[in-house]
Amino acid sequence: ENDDFTLGGLLAKESATTQCQSRGLIHRLRVRSPYTPSPDLITKLRDYEALHQRCGPGTKSFNRSMANLELAFNTEGRHEVDGECRYIVWLAHSGLGNRLVSIAAAFVYALLTRRVLVLDGRSALGELVCEPFPGEVSWLLPHDFTPLLTLTLNQSSPYKFGLHLQQGTLLPSVRDPPEEDRKSLFHSSSASQPSSLFSYIHLAHDYDFFDKLFFCDKEQASLHQIPWLFLGSNLYFVPSLYLYIPEFRQELNRLFPDTDAIFHHISRYLFLPSNSVWSWIMRYYDAYLSKASQIVGVQIRSFVFPPVVHPHLAQQTLRCAEENNLLPKIAEVEGRETPLSPRNATALLVTSLLPDYSEQLKKLYADHPTETGEVVSVHQPSHEGHQNTQAHGHNLKAWAEMCLLSFSNKLITSPMSTFGYVAQGLAGIKPWILTAAENGEAPSSACSQLVSMDPCFHAPPYYNCDGNKGDDTSKILPYVKHCEDVEWGLKVFPHTPA
């Protein structure tokens, strides 16, 4: 029963390991998920898979649509539009955690809008994860996909959706940015007339008022007919999809009755480690974790560059573990005879850019017995020193570590980190989040457990599309509220019907 690699129908039942070894195996190393995918989600995914096979890279439809698009750069006039095959092209931004949560959000958007999700092939993601969709059609764009090589697709793109909204060239009425949004408007030097064939959507941390109108009903509707959307995003923007677009909200509620398991399902569906990463994971797992009776994962993230050691963090982690019974308690006094064949063995799996925290924890558990005589071993797969997203070996380790963390029975993670979000989503457990230090002081409460497992949207709009005014959008729906770890963030919480 626990050997259902499809995870209750989430994954298609094609032969499990032919190409992607982790597909048929990884579920065995994870705690059984308490969440089952809804029948609607399952149907939706099967439909999507079929669509992807018809429209994805390399198919006739794709080639026709791509040729059309290339033509559009050169000649003006009317172009043929394939009604069925519309695309959302995901472009890589930021670290791996950010990439994965934004891919998941883009996929949710693709499901809602019946678009085909394709990824910038230059992101090297193909080396980290398996092709998620059964069949021969990839989700990676060919490396020579011309639009990505020739168009400027970033905050200052002349093709930016937000820019066209700002200039009133897309929709008749231009909305007024609230006072506080005005000074942060991005002023693009150049603009182009909106194309009926493509648009660039900028949904990254640095997006401005007009970019954020993506989440409003009318503006969103204006995208519908455009076959090619290029998406520049490093955010998990799902929460804001609920708010001002009724069809999206209805569909999301149908697909995800467990409202805080969206990313959980989507990440387990989309992100299976590639064969080379899987080998690495399995070697590490077999060597250091496989014999443990439980794995407690700890992720300690420092956002400074280069990262610095916060001397209190190892202690805070221990305090968090002790207060919440996550780890055997360290005994104050030596004494008791050590049993020769110890009972439970806990593997404490620490990930961090720095080696210091795991060394401190390792030393503590070597120097002191636990109150129960239980054994605790401490392991850190890598300590890369600093973020280095351009290096393949670096990303391989980051990804392998997220996967290893997802084998945990319990998780302690750092606030604000998408790296941690990915681990918790894949694991299907609600982590304890270390309380952020205030003014460099160790906080009084060590940690608190998340109420919702879904990732936090770190930069949601503060704008009421209906009321046409600035607003705190955490008050619109009872289950879309501010995050536990990022007070200005927005997040989907467990849906408790009134």
Ligand X SMILES: Nc1nc2c(ncn2[C@@H]2O[C@H](COP(=O)(O)OP(=O)(O)O)[C@@H](O)[C@H]2O)c(=O)[nH]1
Nearer to ligand X by Cβ, of 211 and 401: the residue is 401
Q: Which residues of 160-198 are buried (b: 16+ CB within 10 A; e: fewer)?
A: bbbbbbbeeebeeeebebeeebeeeebebeeeeebbebb
Q: How far apart are the first and last CA of the chain?
A: 34
Residue 290 as a binder of a second copy (CB under 8 A): the answer is yes
Nearest distance in Å: CB 90, ligand X: 15
Nearest distance in Å: CB 289, a second copy: 10
Of 386, 142, 399, 390, the C-alpha closest to 276 is: 399
Residue 418 as a binder of ligand X (CB under 6 A): the answer is yes
Residue 463 as a binder of ligand X (CB under 6 A): the answer is no
Residue 342 as a binder of a second copy (CB under 8 A): the answer is yes
- Of 150-158, 364-372, 396-404, 434-442, the segment contacting ligand X by CB under 6 A is 396-404
Instruction: Round to whole Å and give the CA distance between 261 and 453.
Output: 7
Nearest distance in Å: CB 377, ligand X: 18
| Token representation of residue 215 | 């989440």
Instruction: Round to whole Å and give the CA distance between 269 and 100.
Output: 12
Using CB under 6 A, which residues numbered 92 to 111 contact ligand X? 94-98
Nearest distance in Å: CB 65, a second copy: 37
Nearest distance in Å: CB 193, a second copy: 51
Instruction: Round to whole Å and give the CA distance between 258 and 484.
Output: 18
Nearest distance in Å: CB 286, ligand X: 19
3-state secondary structure (DSSP) of residue 349: strand
Residue 379 as a binder of ligand X (CB under 6 A): the answer is no
Using CB under 6 A, which residues numbered 295 to 324 contact ligand X? 299, 301
Instruction: Round to whole Å and give the CA distance between 196 and 241.
Output: 23
Nearest distance in Å: CB 12, ligand X: 28
Q: Please give the helix or strand (H or E) that residue 199 lies within, else none.
A: strand 198-203
Residue 375 as a binder of a second copy (CB under 8 A): the answer is yes
Question: What mask, x for binding a second copy by CB under 8 A, covers residues 5 to 24?
Answer: ------------x---x---
Of 178, 101, 164, 167, the C-alpha closest to 462 is: 178
- Lookup result for tokens 């570590």: 401
Residue 280 as a binder of a second copy (CB under 8 A): the answer is yes
Query: Greatest CA separation found in the chain?
Result: 86
What number of helices (H) and strands (E) belong to the chain? 16, 14
Question: 183, 135 in Cβ contact below 8 A?
Answer: no
**Type of residue numbered 413:** T
Per partner kind, with CB cut-offs from 5 to 8 A, the member of a second copy, ligand X, none near residue 154 is none
Using CB under 8 A, which residues numbered 295 to 334 contact a second copy? 334
Q: Which residues bind a second copy (CB under 8 A)?
A: 17, 21, 25, 28, 276, 278-280, 282-284, 286-288, 290-291, 334, 337-338, 340, 342, 345, 365-367, 369, 375-378, 381
Binding site for ligand X (CB under 6 A): 94-98, 299, 301, 351-353, 382, 384, 387, 389, 394, 397-398, 401, 417-419
